[in-house]
Structure 1
């Protein structure tokens, strides 16, 4: 399929080079993000990464659009959906969908979210990926930074309260 895309100039070498360049910039920015000292510096890199991610998604969607329409890709998707339709159980150990047809015609938002979550977990299982690794590194770094700052604020608040109590006690 890649050859067809290249032969028809749908996906050219320059497209791949641009995508590789964007991904390299993302990795460099993630390193800078990890080492950012100030919040201003941190959010500068965080925003930069988000812009690069949007460019990456836009460019790779051009490639993925065609690859996801191959017979192999569609067969893989159909197998995955069939597996999900037969392997998802509710809290009472009953199958969520009685048939594949019922699964395909699902329109309940909560159950559609269940399909998405089941697909994510199945793909992680198939490809040996930890589900927690699906989030972007910059988002995990942001969460860690926010948690650290929150804990530091709590620590300072407790410390301040202790010193105020000891001042009151001395008087």
Structure 2
């Protein structure tokens, strides 16, 4: 079953509900949209040197889990996706089952502000800048312990990134990679 086809079909289904992307300013930690598939691939391409089958990839505010499922398919790594929206969690769980990834992908329904980032690995962050500030100390702690952070669109304020990539339609999406060396 094609990863890309599955998510394209779901995006068409989402268009049936005109309020599916409804967003009230200030009611969410993350932008109200899923990463496009070329952005998913851009993130995973940037993460590739840091991921092994023994690694764990976190996606904070993972939506339908497309980054987690594709990372586990591509790299055979473990993935943990955290999402609070019930309809996205349901879609994420269905995708994990459809792709037979239950042994590799953990779905966490809850507030990412309460999520412990205790396993080393790659942490994907597509959160609004003010939301990043709420978990900044957790993210810095993860960097200090050896994790790698990849930010979609907005970086980690006040810290110089190690690498930057662009992806998306007309290269309009910036990705920023941070590791422990960025703290010195």
TM-score over 0.5 for the alignment?
no
Which structure is higher in helix share? 1
The structure with the larger Rg is: 1
For normalisation by structure 2, the TM-score amounts to 0.22
Structure with a larger share of its residues in strand: 2
Higher relative contact order at CA 8 Å, sep ≥6: structure 1 or structure 2? 2
**TM-score, normalized by length of structure 1?**
0.23
